[in-house]
C-alpha cells in the first residue's frame, strides 16, 4: 500500500465519498463521521436501518474530549491499555457531533484500530483530526469481510464505494469488543459485544468486570439475535452429535458443507480451522463465505468449547445460526428436490 493511495482515500473521504479499509478485526466501510450525508450513504449502501449507530474510528493522537463528554477515568485507562486495538468504547456523545453517527442516541462508539493501513488513513484524513464512521463493510446482517475481495464481492456491482484499500487478511477476524461506559455510575461497565479483548482483560485494567447487557443497554445491530449470517442455513452441533447428523444427512442425499476443527469424515465441502480461539476467529468469516459458495443444503459447524476464551467465536456462530433453527430436522424429513 503506498502513501499515494492512502492520500487519495483520505481526499475521497473528505469529499464525502465512501472508502472501504482494512482494520485488524474486519474491513470497515468508512465515511466522514461529521458529514451526515456521507454517513447516510453508508446506511444506504449497507441496507442498514437508520437508527443503528456506527463506530467512529480515530487516530491515536485524536482527542477523546472532542468526540465524547463526561468521560470517566476508566475510558482513558482502557484507551491507554488497548488502543490502537480491537476495543470499542461507548461514551456520552459530545454536543458538536452529529447524531447521524449514533442513530439518534446520545452516545458515541469510539475506537482506534491498529491495522497500519487504517492508522495511515486516519492520520491522513483531515490531518488526523477527523473521525471515520465505519461499520463492517458488508450488507446488513451478512458476514463481515476479512479480505478486500469480500468487500468487492459485496459492493462492486453498485458504484456506492469509491475505493477499497487492500490490507490483506484481517488478523483478528471477528469484530471489536464493545464495552459501554456511558452509564458507568448507574450500571457499571457493560459488555455489549464480546471479542478478542476479553471481559477479564478489561477488568484487569479498570478493576470491574463488565456485566452482560441489561434490558436498558444501548441497541447494537451486531448484537441482534440474527446477524453475521451466510445465505446457506447454518447449524452448530457438538462433535458427537454432528457425526451422527453427517451420517443421516448423507443417507438422505443432502449436501453438507462443514466447518470443523477435529477429525471428521469427508463431506460435500469442508474447511478445517485451527483448534484455538484466535486461529478459529481469524479464519471463521472467510470459511463461512467459502462454504456458502458450495450450494450446500446446510453449513454444519462443529461447536467450539463453551469456555470464556471462545466467547467471541461462540457469539458470532450463535447469531449466524439463529435464523436456521430446525434446519437439520427439516432436511431429514423432506426429500431433496421436493
User: Torsions phi, psi of 132, nearest 5?
Assistant: -105, 110
Comparison of 177 and 245: residue with beta carbon closer to Mg ion: 177
For position 258 contacting ligand TXA by CB under 6 A, the verdict is no
- # residues contacting ligand TXA (CB under 6 A): 28
Comparison of 35 and 102: residue with beta carbon closer to ligand TXA: 102
Site mask for ligand TXA (CB under 6 A), range 276-295, x = bound: --------------------
Closest distance to ligand TXA from the beta carbon of 326 (Å): 27
Q: Residues interacting with Mg ion, by CB under 5 A?
A: 136
176 contacts which partner out of Mg ion, ligand TXA, none, CB within 5 to 8 A by kind? ligand TXA
Closest distance to ligand TXA from the beta carbon of 246 (Å): 33
d(CA 232, CA 296): 7
Q: Is 8 exposed, middle or buried (0-12, 13-18, 19+ CB in 10 A)?
A: middle
For position 22 contacting ligand TXA by CB under 6 A, the verdict is no
d(CA 55, CA 135): 6
23 contacts which partner out of Mg ion, ligand TXA, none, CB within 5 to 8 A by kind? ligand TXA
Site for ligand TXA in 233-252 (CB under 6 A): none
The binding site for ligand TXA (CB under 6 A) comprises 23, 25-26, 28, 52-55, 88, 90, 102, 105, 107-109, 111, 113, 134-136, 175-176, 178, 218, 220-223
Amino acid at each position: 500500500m503506498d502513501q499515494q493511495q492512502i492520500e487519495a482515500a483520505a481526499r475521497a473521504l473528505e469529499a464525502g465519498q465512501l472508502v472501504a479499509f482494512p482494520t485488524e478485526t474486519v474491513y470497515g466501510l468508512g465515511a466522514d463521521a461529521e458529514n451526515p450525508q456521507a454517513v447516510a450513504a453508508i446506511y444506504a449502501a449497507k441496507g442498514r436501518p437508520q437508527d443503528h449507530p456506527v463506530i467512529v474510528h480515530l487516530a491515536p493522537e485524536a482527542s477523546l474530549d472532542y468526540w465524547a463528554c463526561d468521560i470517566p477515568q476508566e475510558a482513558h485507562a482502557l484507551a491507554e491499555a488497548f488502543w490502537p486495538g480491537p476495543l470499542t468504547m461507548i461514551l456520552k456523545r459530545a454536543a458538536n457531533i452529529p447524531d447521524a453517527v449514533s442513530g439518534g442516541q446520545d452516545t458515541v462508539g469510539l475506537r482506534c484500530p491498529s491495522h497500519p493501513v487504517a492508522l495511515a488513513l486516519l492520520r491522513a484524513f483531515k490531518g488526523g483530526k477527523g473521525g471515520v464512521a465505519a461499520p463492517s463493510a458488508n450488507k446488513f446482517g451478512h458476514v463481515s469481510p476479512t479480505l478486500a475481495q469480500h468487500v468487492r464481492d459485496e459492493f462492486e456491482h453498485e458504484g456506492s464505494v469509491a475505493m477499497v484499500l487492500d490490507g490483506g487478511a484481517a488478523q483478528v477476524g471477528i469484530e471489536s469488543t464493545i464495552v459501554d461506559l456511558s452509564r458507568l455510575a448507574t450500571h457499571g461497565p457493560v459488555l455489549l459485544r464480546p471479542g478478542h479483548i476479553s471481559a477479564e482483560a478489561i477488568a484487569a485494567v479498570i478493576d470491574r468486570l463488565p456485566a452482560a447487557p441489561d434490558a436498558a443497554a444501548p441497541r447494537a445491530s451486531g448484537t441482534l439475535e440474527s446477524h453475521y449470517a451466510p445465505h446457506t442455513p447454518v447449524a452448530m452441533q457438538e462433535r458427537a452429535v454432528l457425526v451422527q447428523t453427517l451420517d443421516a444427512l448423507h443417507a438422505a442425499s443432502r449436501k453438507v458443507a462443514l466447518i470443523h476443527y477435529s477429525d471428521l469424515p469427508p463431506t460435500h465441502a469442508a474447511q478445517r480451522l485451527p483448534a484455538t480461539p484466535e486461529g478459529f476467529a481469524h479464519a471463521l468469516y472467510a470459511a463461512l463465505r467459502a462454504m456458502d459458495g458450495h450450494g450446500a443444503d446446510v453449513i454444519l459447524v462443529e461447536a467450539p468449547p463453551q469456555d470464556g476464551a471462545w466467547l467471541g467465536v461462540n457469539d458470532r456462530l450463535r447469531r449466524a445460526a439463529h435464523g436456521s433453527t430446525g434446519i437439520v430436522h427439516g432436511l431429514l424429513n423432506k426429500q431433496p428436490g421436493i
